[in-house]
Amino acid sequence: MIVMKFGGTSVESAQAIERVASIVKTRRQRRPVVVVSAMGKTTNRLLAIAQSSVNGQREDALRLLAELRDYHAREARPVIREQDWPQAERLLDEHFQELSELVKGLSVLGELTPRSIDAISSYGERLSSALAALAFRNYGMDAAHVDSRQVILTDERHTQAAPLYPQTYARLEQIVRPLAEKQVVVMGGFIGSTEKGVTTTLGRGGSDFSASIVGAGIGAEEIQIWTDVDGMLTADPTIFPHGRRVKSISFAEAAELAYFGAKVLHPATVLPAIERDIPVLILNSRRPEVDGTRITSTPVPCSNVIKSIACKRNITVVNIHSTRMLMAHGFLRRIFEVFDRYQTPVDVVSTSEVSVSLTIDNTAHLETICGELSQFSEVDVERGQAIVCLVGENIRFTPGVAGRAFHALGPVNIRMISQGASRLNLTFVVAEEDLAQAVEMLHGEFFRELDPAVFD
């Protein structure tokens, strides 16, 4: 039994849905459970509609809602059998009637709460999964739709809910696993519900997380994440277009890459998979013949020190200087208490005798944070920075990696340097304008020769 997750671009059109159906059909003997994201940019459109309604533009919101219904009907019609189309139309009518009522209610309330955000944004996956299940029948598969809200149980933190794992795993074992023995099960990613039945979401990008939860719950032999890229690459293709495919990588390396900007994988995806030791594959729905990237608990031996270079743009460096000659007892604790109070995560930290430099990518509360820090320190801020992170299991065993990186970077001014406690990464902060040059230089240094067992 396997889990196959398809992202929004993989189900954005009739042609894309047909492609997905053909991929799933070739793996029918492996008893797939399919998890799909919302079609195209549906979630963004739903949230924009909700915001228009709250802003008093109810008629505009209803017009946009009608356009969204037309989009779903237009793309679903060619891939659904004639005898199943009345069921599809009822499905569309019911869901968009509910959405219309929600939009009207929001215009009266004039407020968009986290609970209402979850309610309205859940419809993308609810629609795409139900329509995909009907479409699969058109391609000779006996498919069953399962509403993810019936099996993915979460806490009540709307827009960023955390799964209740024991209850969720029990329902997946009881409901989804027996069904998948006989039919292709199709579910929506990203969505769940509280134990009281209130709709929740796992946060943006949560469909990958959903797939991993489902895989752990049904005891899948493999979790496949189907995207629009060939797998993980040695560098971000939007920054350095000549990266090579990484055929195999460890869970720990994948998690580091995801945290430091690799967008192929949601950072939380690996957690249930690690717990149950289930391999995760990153595959391309437009090029299903490519083997992709396999993520496992035990890394394949590799002669290269580095597996990949991750990047994060739009980083802000906060430099905090002790107002005393030496850092007083509790100085670091006071600093991080301020960031914690405003729920602002810190990525990279570097310390000296009298100062601390750290990076953040969420500046929503930066002015207030700096105000509080200024009560016991001197603070200055550098915007327009970027993180460059070298990731590889071999970093911990190989001397001189930092020296090679410094030599390669040459004229690029390094603002900060940090090595994680895991010793899987070596992280630099550079000005964003130097990012492309830095990645190119580092790639040339560490990927001049490639181990064919790990790289393609």
The dihedral through the CA atoms of 229, 230, 231, 236 has a sign that is: negative
Q: How far apart are CA 87 and CA 446, in angstroms?
A: 56
CB environment 155-180: b (16+ within 10 A), e (fewer): eeebbebebbbeebbebbeebbbeeb
Assess if residue 289 is contained within a domain: no
pTM, entire model: 0.87
What percent of the chain has pLDDT above 90?
Answer: 84
DSSP per residue over 269-283, as a string? GHHHHHHHT--EEEE
Same domain, 214 and 332: no
For 229, the 3-state DSSP assignment is coil
Strands (E), 180-231: 184-188, 191-193, 199-201, 222-227
- pLDDT, tens only, 141-172: 999 999 999 999 999 999 999 999 999 999 99
Query: 451 and 303 in contact (C-beta within 8 Å)?
Result: yes
Assess if residue 324 is contained within a domain: yes
Same domain, 216 and 318: no
Residue with tokens 């195999």: 248
Which of 318, 315, 429 lies closest to 373, judged by CA? 318
Residue 235 burial (CB count, 10 A)? 23
DSSP per residue over 121-150, as a string? HTHHHHHHHHHHHHHHHHTT--EEE--GGG
- pLDDT, tens only, 303-319: 999 999 999 999 999 99
Same domain, 336 and 194: no
- The C-alpha R_g of the chain, in whole angstroms, comes to 24
Assess if residue 198 is contained within a domain: yes
Assess if residue 246 is contained within a domain: no
Whether the predicted pLDDT of 422 surpasses 70: no
Query: 278 and 429 in contact (C-beta within 8 Å)?
Result: no
Residue with tokens 């496992």: 296
Q: How far apart are CA 386 and CA 399, in angstroms?
A: 26
Tokens of 453: 């067992």
Same domain, 218 and 325: no
Q: How far apart are CA 156 and CA 198, in angstroms?
A: 8
Q: What is the mean pLDDT of residues 127-140?
A: 98
Same domain, 65 and 179: yes
**Domain harbouring 197, CATH code:** 3.40.1160.10
Q: How far apart are CA 138 and CA 84, in angstroms?
A: 9
- Using alpha carbons only, what angle is made at residue 125 by residues 313 and 9, rounded to the nearest 5 degrees? 50
Query: 192 and 158 in contact (C-beta within 8 Å)?
Result: no
Query: 229 and 284 in contact (C-beta within 8 Å)?
Result: yes
Domain boundary, last residue among 228, 255, 270: 228
- Of the listed ranges 234-248, 260-274, 291-305, the one predicted with least confidence: 260-274
For the ranges 259-263, 420-424, 437-441, the maximum mean pLDDT occurs at 437-441
Residues whose CB falls within 8 Å of the CB of residue 282, separated by 6 or more in sequence, listed in order: 225, 227, 229, 231, 232, 264, 265, 292, 293, 295
Assess if residue 164 is contained within a domain: yes
**Domain harbouring 379, CATH code:** 3.30.2130.10
Helix (H) or strand (E) holding 317: strand 308-322
Instruction: Please give the DSSP secondary-structure letter assigned to residue 327.
Output: P
Q: What is the mean pLDDT of residues 351-375?
A: 92
Q: How far apart are CA 219 and CA 217, in angstroms?
A: 6
pLDDT bracket for residue 326 (50, 70, 90): low
For 313, the 3-state DSSP assignment is strand
Domain boundary, last residue among 204, 228, 252: 228
For 357, the 3-state DSSP assignment is strand
Assess if residue 237 is contained within a domain: no
- pLDDT, tens only, 78-111: 999 999 999 999 999 999 999 999 999 999 989 9
DSSP per residue over 395-447, as a string? GGG-TTHHHHHHHHHTTSPEEEEEE-TTSSEEEEEEEGGGHHHHHHHHHHHHS
Assess if residue 259 is contained within a domain: no
Q: Note the residue count of the chain.
A: 456
Residues whose CB falls within 8 Å of the CB of residue 133, separated by 6 or more in sequence, listed in order: 143, 144, 145, 184, 186
Which of 289, 249, 290, 302 lies closest to 273, judged by CA? 249
Which residues span the domain enclosing 314? 308-446
Which of 257, 277, 261 lies closest to 215, judged by CA? 277
Query: 88 and 131 in contact (C-beta within 8 Å)?
Result: yes
Q: How far apart are CA 256 and CA 20, in angstroms?
A: 29
Same domain, 214 and 318: no
Same domain, 326 and 424: yes
Domain boundary, last residue among 167, 197, 228: 228
- Of the listed ranges 12-26, 90-104, 146-160, 350-364, the one predicted with least confidence: 350-364
Q: How far apart are CA 387 and CA 310, in angstroms?
A: 8
Assess if residue 49 is contained within a domain: yes
Same domain, 29 and 137: yes
Whether the predicted pLDDT of 327 surpasses 60: no
Strands 355-360 and 308-322: antiparallel
User: What pLDDT is stored for residue 204 in this prediction?
Assistant: 67
Query: 173 and 166 in contact (C-beta within 8 Å)?
Result: no
**Number of domains the chain is built from:** 2
Q: What is the mean pLDDT of residues 126-151?
A: 98
Same domain, 338 and 198: no
Residues whose CB falls within 8 Å of the CB of residue 108, separated by 6 or more in sequence, listed in order: none
Same domain, 50 and 194: yes
